[in-house]
Each structure stands twice: as structure tokens, then as C-alpha cells.
Amino acid sequence: MTSSATPPTRRNSRPRATSLKLASGSGAQPATPDAADTELSISSRNYSSWSLRGWLMMKFSGIAFREVVVPIDAPGARAELLLLAPSILVPCLTHRGIRVWDTLAIGEYLNEIAPEARLLPEDPVQRAHCRSICGEMHSGFTAMRASLPMNIRARLAEFKVWSKARQDIERIEAIWQDCLERHGGPFLFGSRRTLADAMFAPVASRFTTYAVALSPASAGYRDTIMAMPEIAEWTAAALAEPEELDELDMEF
């Protein structure tokens, strides 16, 4: 999902007054919680992994926002859900007249306007590592994404995972275990949730849907992600959705 966005001001030249002031505490809302100037377009909660990533980034940032749901039969949204083409429709952030699409661009923009949320680690080495694994998730693991599409409503206890998808899963487990060993968990970069956790959250959902066998460390991280209140909120909405995509439900 490669695209461009209106670039945020560079960190080393951004006036401090432009950042949103957040209340203290994790996931705090801005001092002025008016979401009239901030909206995020999303598609199906059941199927759209990219919508979930962008939505979680917004939640982690603490910025109040309105949701705009794009119907799954919209051409761009449908192409994105079926992995046929990237979409600039979902997720797309509109903030004070600025449109930003593509999840990596949204994450970087949110880190610029809400630095207090620390969506990227403060340590420069950890920050580079976080960006690297986010980029790998963004552009890689195509075999797993194609053969194990996100489907929150489905539960398959004996799903056959083919060899190429298994290779992707092994690489994801290596990333998770490396991060957990380096930073002590429960999230990939320690006690605070970062963009990396938002990027890999749909993978945790896939592993739950398809009952993917994981190491104890990876299973623990999967369970940590799935236990987040934001995931519970998203899942409840996904279960209530009436829409279905035959192409993604035909095997179930």
C-alpha cells in the first residue's frame, strides 16, 4: 500500500506550539476533545486489516476523531480488501484540512502532531528498529496475508497453513520474540504501545482466527494484543456488521 501524503513538518524544525497537548496518562484525550476537525475513514471491521491498523494508531495517539465508514462494495475499498490493489480510501486521516493516507504515513504524522503519545520509542536505536519492523509488516508477508485473510468472525480450528505462509509466520515470530527479549514486553517495545503493536495487531487476530500454533512467547504476545480494550471494541463492531464478502468467506 504505497502512496504519498502531505508531509508533516520535520521533527527538528517543528515549532513546539503546533503539537497537540494531551492529558496525562496512557491513551489520554486532547485537552479539547472536539473531533470535528479530525476524521478517519475505515472499511469493514471484520475484513480490513489496514483499517484496524490506522484506527489503533488513532486510539493510541489519544486524539479524538470521527469515523467515516466506506462501504465494502466501494471499488477502492473492495480492491484493498481482496488484496487486488492499494486504496487511498481506507484508512485515510483528515486532520484540520490535511489528508494523510497509507498507514505508515498516518503513523508518522500522528507521531509528529501528538509526540506526547510516544507512538515511536524515544531512544533513536529503538525508534529505528520500530520503523524497520513496521516497514517489513507494511510491505511483506504477502503469502500469509493472502492465505490467511483477516476475518474476525471466523474460527477455524484445523486450518491448513501452507509452506510459504508458514515461512512468513516464522519470520513474524522471530520479530516478536526478538522485541520481547530486548524490551521485556508485554508490548513489542516494552510497557508502552507503539506503532509496531498497531501494525502487528491484525496478525494477532489472524493467528486467533486460524488457530495458528505459536511458541509460548508469541502466544503470550498474541493474547496481550487480543486482550486490549480497543480490540474488544473493534471486535464487537465487527461481529455486528451485516456485510459479507463471498470471496473471503467461501472457505468457511
Query: Of 88, 107, 86, which is closest to residue 8 (Cα–Cα)?
Result: 107
> What tens-digit pLDDT sequence spans the chain (252 residues)?
434 444 443 333 333 333 443 433 334 333 344 677 999 999 889 999 999 999 999 999 999 999 999 877 665 555 555 554 555 678 999 999 999 999 999 999 999 999 999 999 999 999 999 999 999 999 999 999 999 999 999 999 889 999 999 999 999 999 999 999 999 999 999 999 999 999 999 999 999 999 999 999 999 999 999 999 999 999 999 999 876 644 445 443
Cα–Cα distance, 113 to 38 (Å, whole number): 12
The CATH architecture annotation of domain 124-247 reads Up-down Bundle (1.20)
pLDDT score recorded for residue 96? 94
| 18 contacts 9 by C-beta, under 8 angstroms | yes
Cα–Cα distance, 2 to 59 (Å, whole number): 23
Q: How far apart are the first and last CA of the chain?
A: 27
pLDDT score recorded for residue 104? 96
User: Which residue blocks in 96-228 are alpha helix, DSSP H?
Assistant: 103-113, 124-139, 142-147, 163-183, 195-209, 216-226
Can you read off the three cell numbers belonging to residue 123? 531512544
Task: Give bridge partners of residue 101 from the DSSP assignment.
Answer: 92
| Topology annotation, domain 35-117 | Glutaredoxin (3.40.30)
Residue-range domain boundaries for the chain: 35-117, 124-247
Inter-residue long-range contacts of 119-127, CB under 8 Å, 24+ positions, other chains counted: 119/57, 119/60, 119/61, 119/194, 119/195, 120/194, 120/195, 121/189, 121/190, 121/194, 126/183, 126/189
| 1 contacts 86 by C-beta, under 8 angstroms | yes
